[in-house]
Structure 1
């Protein structure tokens, strides 16, 4: 079967700052082997991968006509596009809508080949378009007829479509009109349409609406269509599922209201709570909130799949009074989006925790025995909302969530391997409540907070906390310190350090601290109004000082650059790495003298004209535990995790780690511990990965001696504009050919042609000059010299954009 895929996130995905940055796609992909391999469709590529300038930067919906096999695609710009063939080289003319006129558009194909599409009146500039509405095509999308119901709202945003598989005359529409500015409620409309007669019914009044908070499922609420689903059971045209935060069902197509919440709800929260506190939330058994997709199994109508903020879930009894869900987020499926993670400082400690987007703080234990298989406990949600920073203390676990809130949790066994979740603590379950779950924020810190707000627990004593406050009114941003978070009531211990107040427009965005006594604290500050360069500060005697803040900023950094991370060598308080996370700048700097001087070390990560990846986090791992005087330097980037053992300014060569595991997945946060060489990295979409430096093979692992096998590393950057670097390794001397083909199989460049190469790692640059925009195939062929008979061949795709 032929599969298609598109990407992009128009509404964006959240980051540490709380801003929602759009994620751009680059064209459409086709698979002819049921998703085993994918090829970029060349005529779907246009524009730049870093700006909204092409039809398929944001793909909203894809549908295949089951009668003709024709592919239809909608986007967040302009409407419906139709593939003119089923070949890889298909073109995509727009068949409905107008450029920039429709911020939201949807399309659905019925079992008889008829198509329904919806266009929002809301356009891409926030204004209104007159051409929005509902449209029908009966000739495979060549022409369209408007069938907008007379009761349809004149102004509307996103409208979902579901055509009943058992009766192709029946279509349902779920429409978000707007959000009321006075009450905060969302105005939803629900229509049933007969596609043959054009008759329609407005059933909006029968949508779920119960006493209590919209944030806990009392009524349909979607965060302005961020979480919004609609589906129809394959064998019953009246069995309809709708969702926002909560998931509901109706057995008569919402022809009548459903009397109670318990009758309507089949997922999300377990019950409506009038007082909202997501720290202590209870959920529908084995399910989660914020619904994004539903799909019925055509072979078994009782089976329904559901995608939400917690991952992918499956029920085999969707018609039963009590719907039972199975969590399918195992066996290789991982959708966790890690903002942060933290591990214990102690060698061999199995505890790992990660702050996740949408799903709180997840706690994991490493159950591997020496030399055993990789076995980890399933992630246990100990804190809800969006997870942030934390620390495994000697008495408590500290964890933060969005907007700067943080608390402490109890250990519930003597070994401190089990943790009482926030919900258990609130309900008196899972261990003694004691003095846990105290809200620990400084009571006077009422100013601006980043979404994932900076928080540091000093590892030197495990109880001193550093916390920033964005200020309010005429008060500028400053820092707070608490010397004893373990106290029965730690709140009075907070000290506001007004001598560390920042100039207007600046906020503290990250901390790094030495493992020394007394500790040295490094602070990164960013001007969020793009009105000044990033600033770095150093504070000696950080646990007691009330003045003495020294500025050690990096010269000549660009205005508005965001200080994302400061990594301090745990064995040398004067060695640090500063990470600036913006694209298209030099963002990686090293200092060996406490910030008195800096050297840019981005090296091969800088790309051409600084168009390399965005950098997110760094960590310095000294190898003295293994009798080695060197250190390993790690940096988490938007294209994976990289490391080096040799810093050489802009000649530094960074090598991608875990190419077969994390690969090019966005790496947001990396941490390491010197006591046993453990490294952990949190990724955006693939969860957390853990590695350990082996003292007997550390040189091999980090590329200073002969590799043990052939390998072709992922090209970086990819996609690329000017050039991209191709890296490969040879376990022995041999002859190497490196050839470039276009998607038709035509050879367009030969970089190496049977060239003798030594054992080791080699790098070759592919220059884009003379090549057209599009996808190319890189093929590496190598044969070991000396008649050893070892041969190797591997391919990968690279994309050139102009």
Structure 2
């Protein structure tokens, strides 16, 4: 299929423009026909050429120690150890207080956090298996969401990984020997997808875990655990796959790990490398980043007991290739024979699948670095048939090319009852009924939707495939695991294949951002997610989510009054949305500025910040790489557009930064028109008069800030614009700083979240902060970190004591962002792997009432006369529709310049002296007529060309 999509895009825009007058009916009556439109979307292509670099740079900038420019090796293990010590100290303090008879009423109180789901949307899932004793028991795992177990075929789920255990699960397997069925193993550490390609990335695993009670509880195998957290010294940090030998009296485990294949004959107490690089024996003091090693490995056991394994030609060194690359087989999992040599090309991952009906027939699907190769192997004869030419290659306009995104999503599986029905997975699932011996019998059955122009998903399915499993009682019933969680079909031979979601409380979504709708009338939060776009989650009994837009979701925003909501894709593509009663999209407009991010050396970030002015829902500030951009009336941007816009955007020239990119923005509530922004290289600035052309900028970078660190969050006290908290997200630096004089001076308040006075050690990455003033005079401070949420009510400089919130709910899950609503104190936390959590803060200081008068009030237009743009300030008593039209002195309509939402309080409308065709009008006198709820105000303006 060709993906230019021109004809459908033109048609959809025509339809959208015809609905312009309707989409602004933002409070539909009970008898209104609800309008919905297809949401904009973008592919979450993890390993397209552009996104590899952008994602890598984004994560690296956020987390790397700025002194070394490296992410500390095995940081996840180090920070987990740190938080365990942290909890131990906290428990000792509680015991001391109790022994001293301390008044419990004076002890800090913590919030009660409950999961907000989304219960119906899953996250990236690489591991799924069906219990051989009962096919209604399913175990599945997200790569950052831990292991989940269902006893009713996926209709409900229970998380069995403890909150303080490692959640990076990549594979799972059951011991199927009689009497041993309660034994399960899972491997950890996703080498491609959850991290960048470098083994030095922070999200590695920590070996293999074992359960002896059917997956209800898990314990690590000590032999696979890291002994020196300071180094990447164990290949068990990345486990690609695990298989067992059910024909052995011993507890034999064969694991595909970083560098090679290892074997244990005693249930994982001891190991030996049987294929590939012997990295397990290198010793605790060797950094494996410095040892050339095979990057991708795989192990598979066919039903006849023959083992197969693959070793990549690619290594961790770009210029080095492994001479051991190829495909191997073994009768015992110990002694191996190479049956296919991988040479010439930079072979990466090879996946293996065999037929249950004829286990001598085995398929090997490889990413060669220059396309894909599919081999059919006959173990009985040794014959190898290359069927690569019949893989989808885009020559058929109805079938998109097969794409594994550089080995990120890849599998080959064979129908248990038919050796010629073969399923391959990349971004999509394809089925061949003749073993890919021809192209004629290949069908596109999952992932993106082949029947809809664009990047929408296959009905009730999701792109980026990682595994398929078949029900033992009926091999036509199949469960698909992908970046959207789990999906089931009862007939994998149908055309089309019909799926149902099994994400029924399987909460494994990975959030980057979160916003609590600021309207008291709304009962939802919405945020941007990895792989899953932007999702709206209702607060209630089902806690279900609604996908608003696709792609890799970024920052989100809500006006104080609801109605208009803002979401974004990767790389700063921002959309204004309106929703109907069912939270379906009723209109959209792309609103990000066309000129932003022009300097490639100071790019727009992968997850790029923007904010709405807290006092004006039509005013936005956008981080444009090396400049801030400002839009003073978003409502003038017409609905239906999917391209960047120039409407009302202005680059704020004196906000330019010399290096890095703008990485954090926040506006004030208490004193209007104060804004703070930070950069990816550690600078902080304050802007005063941020609403006007007379704005000023002053640098507020403190000499106690960590040099060159990444400012991930700036929060302003909503009742005091001079109190701010600045958060640096890098590892091994001091993380949290507070100012009470508008940034003139700062104090370090990182406190016990640092392991050492210098910030070095295993202290977590702090990602976000919130300041919550309360009616009783107490101010609460909350932090989102890589090991959960922390809070305090008593700041004391470097001696500040932070307490962990939601220890038994959120636990040690990475939390990227927090948001709370002043109208009722509801607070939400966005985790990267376990969805959203919400709680209630009582007695928060509410937002002050807006002073808006009793009717439409319009100020004189300025500058008048004008040569470029003219602005009219007006004030509304309540939020409603505003229309502004320009007439000449003959009474002829020149242009409608506004037909959109005006918010209670102050607003602005702009005209650039053009007509309906965007051509300059003749110099002269014009009348601007503003209409609101039956009121009409007219301004006379003079246009004078230079």
TM-score, structure 2 length as denominator? 0.64
User: How many equivalent residue pairs?
Assistant: 632
The Cα offsets for residues 150-190 of structure 1, whole Å up to 9 and x where unpaired, read as x98654111001122222211110001114xxxxxxx1000
- Larger Rg over CA atoms: 2
Pick closer, same or farther for the CA change 1:155–1:548 going to 2, 3 Å: closer
Pick closer, same or farther for the CA change 1:339–1:606 going to 2, 3 Å: same
The answer on 1:585 being equivalent to 2:733 is yes
Partner SS, residue 339 of structure 1: coil
1:445 CA drift (Å): 4.3
| Equivalence for 1:287 | 461
Query: 2:688 touches 2:695 (CA, 8 Å); kept in 1?
Result: no
CA distance in 2, matches of 1:19, 1:649: 36
Give the alignment partner of residue 263 of structure 2, picking from 55, 75, 82: 82
1:387 CA drift (Å): 1.0
The Cα offsets for residues 765-795 of structure 1, whole Å up to 9 and x where unpaired, read as xxxxxxxxxxxxxxxxxxxxxxxxxxxxxxx
1:537 CA drift (Å): 0.7
Q: Report 1:317-466 matches (<5 A).
A: 317-330=491-504, 332-347=505-520, 349-367=522-540, 374-376=541-543, 378-393=544-559, 394=561, 395-412=563-580, 417-421=581-585, 431=586, 433=587, 436-443=588-595, 445-447=597-599, 448-466=603-621
Query: 1:460 touches 1:516 (CA, 8 Å); kept in 2?
Result: no
CA distance in 2, matches of 1:445, 1:507: 9
CA distance in 2, matches of 1:324, 1:619: 44
Give the alignment partner of residue 377 of structure 2, picking from 193, 207, 210: 193
Partner SS, residue 522 of structure 2: coil
Pick closer, same or farther for the CA change 1:546–1:40 going to 2, 3 Å: farther
Query: 1:619 touches 1:671 (CA, 8 Å); kept in 2?
Result: yes
1:211 CA drift (Å): 4.4
Partner SS, residue 650 of structure 1: coil
Pick closer, same or farther for the CA change 1:692–1:196 going to 2, 3 Å: same
CA distance in 2, matches of 1:152, 1:252: 28
| Equivalence for 2:677 | 523
Pick closer, same or farther for the CA change 1:573–1:217 going to 2, 3 Å: farther
CA distance in 2, matches of 1:224, 1:51: 27
CA distance in 2, matches of 1:217, 1:537: 51
Calculate the aligned-residue CA RMSD, in Å: 2.4
| Equivalence for 1:42 | 222
| Equivalence for 1:709 | none
The answer on 1:482 being equivalent to 2:631 is yes
1:12 CA drift (Å): 4.5
Q: Report 1:618-697 matches (<5 A).
A: 618-624=769-775, 628-695=776-843
1:516 CA drift (Å): 2.9
Pick closer, same or farther for the CA change 1:379–1:167 going to 2, 3 Å: same
Query: 1:291 touches 1:306 (CA, 8 Å); kept in 2?
Result: yes
1:7 CA drift (Å): 1.1
The answer on 1:131 being equivalent to 2:324 is yes
Q: Report 1:285-324 matches (<5 A).
A: 285-324=459-498
CA distance in 1, matches of 2:687, 2:637: 28
Query: 1:623 touches 1:674 (CA, 8 Å); kept in 2?
Result: no
TM-score, structure 1 length as denominator? 0.75
CA distance in 2, matches of 1:652, 1:445: 39
CA distance in 2, matches of 1:355, 1:92: 42
Partner SS, residue 492 of structure 1: coil
Pick closer, same or farther for the CA change 1:651–1:348 going to 2, 3 Å: farther
| Equivalence for 1:107 | 299
CA distance in 2, matches of 1:231, 1:153: 27
Structure 2 unmatched ranges of 5 or more = 1-181, 280-291, 639-644, 845-946
Partner SS, residue 554 of structure 2: strand
CA distance in 2, matches of 1:26, 1:342: 33
| Equivalence for 1:264 | 443
Give the alignment partner of residue 338 of structure 2, picking from 132, 139, 146: 146
Give the alignment partner of residue 500 of structure 1, picking from 652, 655, 670: 655
CA distance in 2, matches of 1:203, 1:605: 56
Pick closer, same or farther for the CA change 1:566–1:60 going to 2, 3 Å: same
Which gives a bigger RCO, structure 1 or 2 (Cα 8 Å, sep 6+)? 2
Partner SS, residue 506 of structure 1: coil
1:257 CA drift (Å): 1.3
CA distance in 1, matches of 2:376, 2:344: 14
CA distance in 2, matches of 1:676, 1:575: 22
| Equivalence for 2:206 | 26
